[in-house]
Structure 1
Amino acid sequence: MKLSTLGRILLGTTVAQAATINYSTVTGYFMQDEESTDASKFDYTSENFGLINRTYPVDNKLKGHKSLTQWERFHHQVTQLNDEAPNHIEYKVLFLGRHGEGWHNTAESYYGTPAWNCYWAELDGNGTASWVDATLTPTGESQALKANAFWQKQIHEQRIHTPDHYYVSPLTRTLQTANLTFTGLVLPKGSAPFKPTVKELFREGISIHTCDHRRSRSYIHDLFPNWPIEEGFSEEDELWDGVTAESADAQDARSAQALGQVFFASSGKKEAFVSVTAHSGEIASILRVLKHREFSLNTGAVIPVLVKAEKVEHGASTTSSVPWTVSPHCTEPPVTSVSACVCPSSAVPVTTVLATGV
């Protein structure tokens, strides 16, 4: 199969760069940046998205700053950081949102992670539920609607600056989550409308699990016909084959590539607030690229991160390749999987596809 340029980039076979962007998290603004914040107990809806109640250097320059909300003053602070930064440095606030609970999440909880990873996740479903490119459960839909209500509350009470750009992973659970989260919001006057770009590079880590096998471009377009799909997006999923899996290093290289298409874009520094609706593994990868501390999100959760990006030009283009790995799995349900997967003696691990996917 002849791969598109985007497909070759994702597979790590051709990555040419004329410049490198170094990313770092600007700490001191959000609770999630602090080592003392317990991710397992963090609730973004009760913590103002984690924005720390503090003063900013820009406050004294703002007329009537005492009447401004924390988010209004933070927006001015980010604006000043960009105004004072040289052309090769840019600041953005990334709202990283994890999709709501999907049927694959409930299946993993039911079977246990070891059995899920080595057998059940390679199937299309179990006769009761399907998890190929999993859709949201009713709980997942409620989690997305909870985010919608919180965004509306923040718009009304905090006069928060809503995203200037929206991006969403092409997997169905993220498309549904973004739609439920942002559709119907009464946005501030002059705000960018909710019209997310479907972006391949923000998909979940590509494993042999069928939940990571995306549907076709036509399916996505038919589901949300008014949403733009990025240039170069292939009709069928070129990347999932049910045999090889993306390594953590390969995923981080992909996440860096995605961020490189978000930062230093034609819109410039003025549009500094960006929403990315993605997945637990992809958000973890993005945070690694941003040199942020590890911070796991529950399904449906959202955290903002203030990012500094610095472009470093190269004298010539460079090419790099990050290998993928083969993932053995059982051909029958494992005998035991409390702490590790043990295949039946008659079903030794194989590296072939168990299910056809979508």
Structure 2
Amino acid sequence: MIPAINMIAAMASLASAASLQLAGNGYINYTTVTGYFLQDEPSTNASTFNYTLNNFGLINRTYDSTEGLTANFTQWQKFEREVDALNAAADANTVYKVIFMGRHGEGFHNLAEGTFGTPAWNCYWAQLTGNGSLYWEDAQLTEAGILQAQIANNYWKDRIAVEKIPLPRSYYTSPMKRCLATANTTFGSGLDLPVYYPFEPVVKELLREGISIHTCDHRGNATYITETYPNFELEEGFNEYDELWNGVTAESDSAHEKRMLTLLDDVFTNDDHTWISFTSHSGTITTILDVIGHQRFRLATGGVIPVLVKAQFLPASEAPSTTVGGFTTSTWCHYGPPATSIASLEQGCVCQNTTAALPSLNTQAPFLPNQTAPINEYTTTTTVGASYGKTSTAKPAGY
């Protein structure tokens, strides 16, 4: 885990080397700089948007910083200079980065959820490792998921050739198998990468999906990663075995947000590069968008969203006070698939041998995760773990 940052910035503001140098008391505030991508616009429909038909979403527009440039410059070349200009003009406490966030291609857990339906998946099947024909613990990519990653690779090739798009200088990926494979297929071959910036991604525990009791969130060991992807670098302190998933408790939304802020603090203070790639998950990308003040924009499997992020160090006196919850025990049907799925219910299920609906999560219960939960047809939950007094960043207005 990256330690909490409690400092004020004295940033070395260089167009091509933009990180925050820290000294003193303060916190980092993140915001989305809108007006550059279609995904920033409320009128863009996430459910029908196709990044491969829209230049990754970059809006065709002029920038004051590129006035007078030759017409031969592509839109991405102009945008690159716009970002350079923003960093060059930024004060000592501000930096801008462009983050390409890619969701993994379809995994076998996605296929299984589509097969069983979301209520039955959440209430029963997701807690198993498979059903005899499909296996979804730390799920691998399906053939469709591999194709989605190949589409991303082909589109990067096209944008490099046609648009001269700036390539990421740093690559980060979740440690889950579906993300490792997606990142490797997308960037690992066939791209004309700068010789000094090869594809050597850093595997970051913080980039994993929200931690639930679903076995698809239970990662494999570090040895699998190093043996399968020898050019991938495990971040310092990466554990051989998954010490975060236990199959009993789930990460709260506020804890997931805190984790994403810690991730961003790490990247914005330790990585000098402006152009960054994250390969991650739907829930984690959604949470990153939340904490940087971006509108909700749910990615399909294999989807990509670029975002221009502004980071500012602000005085500690301005830091908000926010309670971060711990992990909670989760409910599911122990005796088999639910007897009934009811879409109008929050949990969507009535378990076998009972007429009562599965209760909502995040309510109080008389047992803790290290005790034996009552093995009737359902259980309720209790909050466990520590709470924290302050987040490392302010939530944007209207959050």
Compute the TM-score of the two structures, normalised by the length of structure 2.
Answer: 0.80
C-alpha separation in 2, matches of 1:124 and 1:266: 37
Q: 1:209 to 1:188 in 2, by over 3 A?
A: closer
Alignment counterpart, residue 198 of structure 1, candidates 200, 203, 211: 203
**What amino acid is aligned across from residue 326 of structure 2 in structure 1?**
P
- What does the per-residue CA deviation read over 1:125-160, in whole Å, with 9 as the maximum and x for residues that have no partner? 000010000000000000000000000000000000
Question: What's the offset of the Cα at 1:320?
Answer: 6.9
Structure 1 stretches of 4+ moved >6 Å: 317-320
| Residue pair 1:90, 1:264 contacting (<8 A) in 2 also | no
Question: Which residue pairs with 2:10 in the alignment?
Answer: none
% identical equivalent positions: 50
Question: What's the offset of the Cα at 1:185?
Answer: 2.9
Q: Are residue 163 (structure 1) and residue 168 (structure 2) matched? A: yes
Q: Are residue 333 (structure 1) and residue 328 (structure 2) matched? A: no
Whose relative contact order is higher, 1 or 2, with alpha carbons under 8 Å and at least 6 apart?
1
Alignment counterpart, residue 276 of structure 1, candidates 275, 278, 293: 278
| Residue pair 2:31, 2:294 contacting (<8 A) in 1 also | yes
Alignment counterpart, residue 47 of structure 1, candidates 41, 44, 54: 54
**What amino acid is aligned across from residue 67 of structure 1 in structure 2?**
N
C-alpha separation in 2, matches of 1:46 and 1:321: 40
C-alpha separation in 2, matches of 1:293 and 1:68: 30
Say which SS state the counterpart of residue 309 (structure 1) adopts. Answer: strand
**What amino acid is aligned across from residue 254 of structure 1 in structure 2?**
R
Gaps of 5+ in 2: 8-25, 355-375, 382-399
Question: Which residue pairs with 2:378 in the alignment?
Answer: 349
Q: 1:234 to 1:294 in 2, by over 3 A?
A: same
Question: What's the offset of the Cα at 1:264?
Answer: 2.6
C-alpha separation in 2, matches of 1:139 and 1:172: 15
Q: 1:185 to 1:311 in 2, by over 3 A?
A: farther
Say which SS state the counterpart of residue 284 (structure 1) adopts. Answer: helix
Say which SS state the counterpart of residue 67 (structure 1) adopts. Answer: coil
Question: Which residue pairs with 1:154 in the alignment?
Answer: 159
Question: Which residue pairs with 1:136 in the alignment?
Answer: 141
Question: What's the offset of the Cα at 1:191?
Answer: 5.6
Question: What's the offset of the Cα at 1:266?
Answer: 5.0
| Residue pair 2:5, 2:265 contacting (<8 A) in 1 also | no
C-alpha separation in 1, matches of 2:4 and 2:338: 39
Q: 1:234 to 1:338 in 2, by over 3 A?
A: same
C-alpha separation in 2, matches of 1:209 and 1:348: 18
C-alpha separation in 2, matches of 1:306 and 1:173: 26
Question: Which residue pairs with 1:322 in the alignment?
Answer: 325
Gaps of 5+ in 1: 1-5, 353-358
Question: Which residue pairs with 1:263 in the alignment?
Answer: 268
C-alpha separation in 1, matches of 2:149 and 2:78: 27
Q: Are residue 34 (structure 1) and residue 41 (structure 2) matched? A: yes
C-alpha separation in 1, matches of 2:75 and 2:94: 25
C-alpha separation in 2, matches of 1:114 and 1:138: 25
C-alpha separation in 2, matches of 1:257 and 1:189: 29
Question: What's the offset of the Cα at 1:188?
Answer: 4.9
| Residue pair 2:258, 2:324 contacting (<8 A) in 1 also | no
Give the number of aligned pairs. Answer: 336
Q: 1:319 to 1:38 in 2, by over 3 A?
A: closer
C-alpha separation in 2, matches of 1:147 and 1:141: 10
Say which SS state the counterpart of residue 251 (structure 1) adopts. Answer: helix
